[in-house]
Chain A
Amino acid sequence: MKINKENQNLKQEAAWLKEFYETGNLEVLGKLYEPYMFLIFGLCLKYLKDTTKSEDAVMQIFESLIKKLRIHRVENFKPWLYTVARNHCLMQLRAKGKQSAVLFDESFMESETFLHPDSSEDDHEEQLQKMEKCIDQLNEEQRVCVRLFYLEEKCYKEISESTNYSMNQVKSYIQNGKRNLKICMDKTL
């Protein structure tokens, strides 16, 4: 069901993108952008740490979408929007000299599907064994957190409570553990 809905959303977005490319109708772009607006706002809050600036940034990002979509042929809207939004915030920070930012390549799309391998049952079994091995290779904090999170399906709060790591620590252990896992899995493939 979830997958279906996602596919539907993706299809709808692709249709809107196509329509926008054909008509340049901002109403269509608005339909594409609006569901992400609060996420973009949150993202801007994270980088800019200022409510008013973040509000403006949300609108500026919308403006830059209009310009950029004239140039770029975008297939998958959400990852692209993410890089555009993030780059916008980083540029703003860099302009203020607060931080030297490394901009994301806007054509770059992160795809992390290794935890949902699109493969048969046999492969799945194999993958699980491989993953067990890779998890064992992680450092202790990462291993503990990754196990609790992915295998026991605990939330950050629960993990934090049971390990005495802070929520942020838990999060970064999981993020880093996940990254290392992916590297390990790719290696042994």
Chain B
Amino acid sequence: MSKQYDIFYIQQYLEGRLSAKDMHQLERDALEDSMLQDAIEGFRQSKSINHKQLSLLQQRLESRIEAQHTEKNRFYFTAQRLTVASVAGVMLIVIGILFWMTNNPQTSNSDIKNSQARMEVHMQDKANATLESGFLLPKDGWENFNDYLSINGINISEGEEVRLYFEVKDNHPQNIRIISSGNRQISQELIRLLQEGPLWEGESGELKIKF
């Protein structure tokens, strides 16, 4: 192995401008260093060393490295972009999930509210019995009777209106007569509800039941 010689030193050697001792040292090193040996021979054969050529070569090397660098940078940038994009994607998904998670209980809350509202509406729209004439009074009160009708007359569709007459005997409805009704089925259902239903007070009367 030799120490690092530079082109000027070799040029000086080739031009015979080095001392005998330095020449010897270079030659000796060249014997140990095939690359140096070949290079010296090459320069000797070409008879001239053009420093401009060498600096041009250095520039070529630099621009070659630069080219790779920008290439690499471009690649790096795309990698960077990819990273940014993937991070953004992940964040989007996470945010989406968070939204869904936070919103979903809300929607289910609102679902409940809605159903509650609907129930309330339904409750408001529950069957309503009113006394048209005579004297009839549910033993547990009109409110409870309405509830009973609403719960048990669930098969009767909303909007139906039935007028009926009955008498009370031993707190039980008797001689139930339908005055007006949407159809037979509803009439029969309502008669059954009354017969199996709560107890009454009073004598007789006409009821209008609106579902």
Binding site for B on A (CB under 8 A): 2, 5-6, 9, 25-27, 29-30, 33-47, 49, 51, 54-55, 58-59, 62-63, 78, 81-82, 85-86, 110, 112, 115, 149-150, 153-158, 171, 174-175, 178
Contacts and interface: CB of A to CB of B under 8 A. Distances in A.
A55 B16 contact: no
Given A5-B3, A26-B65, A155 B23 contact: yes
Contacts of A153: 21, 24, 28
B27 interface: yes
B42 A43 contact: yes
Contacts of B68: 26
B38 interface: yes
Contacts of B60: 55, 58-59
Contacts of B10: 38, 42
A157 B34 contact: no
A43 B39 contact: yes
A45 B45 contact: yes
A82 B36 CA distance: 9
The 4 closest A-B pairs by CB, nearest first: A42-B39, A46-B42, A45-B42, A155-B23
B45 to A, nearest CB: 6
Contacts, number: 126
Nearest to A24: B72
B174 to A, nearest CB: 102
Given A38-B7, A46-B41, A27 B24 contact: no
A112 B61 contact: no
B45 A149 contact: no
B47 to A, nearest CB: 10
A77 B151 CA distance: 95
A135 to B, nearest CB: 15
Interface of A is mostly: helix
6 contacts: A2-B3, A34-B58, A44-B42, A45-B46, A62-B61, A174-B31
Nearest to A50: B46
Interface string B4-46: 1011001000001000110110011001101110111111011
Nearest to A2: B3
Contact of B39 (A2, A25, A40, A62): A40
A155 to B, nearest CB: 3
Interface string B54-94: 10111011101100110010000000000000000000000
B24 A43 contact: no
A6 B58 CA distance: 23
Contacts of A155: 20-21, 23-24, 27
Contacts of A58: 57, 60-61
A26 B38 CA distance: 26
B203 to A, nearest CB: 105
A178 B37 CA distance: 14
A81 B35 contact: yes
B39 A39 contact: yes
Contact of A42 (B16, B38, B61, B65): B38
A35 B32 CA distance: 18
A40 B24 CA distance: 22
A28 to B, nearest CB: 9
A178 B39 CA distance: 20
